[in-house]
Amino acid sequence: MNETNDPALWRDLLPRPGADTHKHRRGRLGVVSGGPLQTGAARLAARAGLRIGAGLVRLLCPPDAALIVAAAVEAVMVDAFETPEALATLTGALDAVVIGPAAGLIPQTEANLAALSATAVHLVVDADALTLFKGRPDALFALLRPGDVLTPHEGEFERLFPGLLADGRATAATVAARRCGATVILKGHETVIASPGGRLRIDRNGSAWLATAGSGDVLAGMTGGLIAQGMEPFEAASAAVWIHAAAADRFGVGLTAGDLPDLVPGVLAGLA
């Protein structure tokens, strides 16, 4: 059965800190950065993860990007890694990792994803980490677990699931989630969230103001931030999608992706 995505479905599942909560108990999120000229997308995702409540966020960077990132962030921590194995080691103390935003269409991105898939950390896979598998989607699906989330727009979706969109977005997302074995957020005017077990929600509060570069990176960070705090991936995806659109509508004309993370707390306060 299709559900309309609504806060009534997941409001009570949103993480709330207690009196004895500390930063590690509030969820630990990692975001993999691209190279020195491609760090902005990861920084957007990291800020979004913080604003949606993760207690600790780390940007995981190639060595040549680390100093650039470190100079541009404050509350986000920065770690450098040289190999996929070193990246996997850094995630030992994390709960969720976002990989893909401006990560680069390079073999290193696939190697990094493969290394992360061998860990216990939940993955939010976006952007370049999706497009990289055009024409060989089974190589990606082999790396995914039921606790992972894919966040494609229609172009990225078509590269992984060619022809499925002809059956309609709801059917396409349902089949895709079952085929890849992970939750799928099919972004668009009416974003569709599908679980590998067959659950489906359609989000009808989509905002036209989200048609701006980087908004998808923010959504990936929000989703990862909620999963890091302990929300089940399908519920985290549903909440992130609704809050993302509501935040955009709060700002309206002139919105950029950089504005979105700072709008999230206001939306969360309204849901409390």
Q: How far apart are CA 251 and CA 247, in angstroms?
A: 7
> How confident is the model at residue 218, as a pLDDT?
98
Full-model pTM? 0.97
Query: Which domains does the chain show, CATH number per domain?
Result: 26-258 (3.40.1190.20)
Render each residue's pLDDT in the chain as its tens digit; 272 residues.
789 999 999 999 999 887 777 777 779 999 999 999 999 999 999 999 999 999 999 999 999 999 999 999 999 999 999 999 999 999 999 999 999 999 999 999 999 999 999 999 999 999 999 999 999 999 999 999 999 999 999 999 999 999 999 999 999 999 999 999 999 999 999 999 999 999 999 999 999 999 999 999 999 999 999 999 999 999 999 999 999 999 999 999 999 999 999 999 999 999 98
> If you write DSSP's letter for every residue of the chain in order, what string do you get?
-EEE--HHHHGGGS----TT--TTTT-EEEEE---TT--HHHHHHHHHHHHTT-SEEEEEE-HHHHHHHHTT-SSSEEEE-SSHHHHHHHGGG-SEEEE-TT--SSHHHHHHHHHHHTSS-EEEE-THHHHTTTT-HHHHHTT--TT-EE---HHHHHHHSTTGGGG-HHHHHHHHHHHHTSEEEE-STT-EEE-TTS-EEE-----GGG-STTHHHHHHHHHHHHHHTT--HHHHHHHHHHHHHHHHHHH-TT--GGGHHHHHHHHHHHH-
Q: What is the pLDDT of residue 24?
A: 72
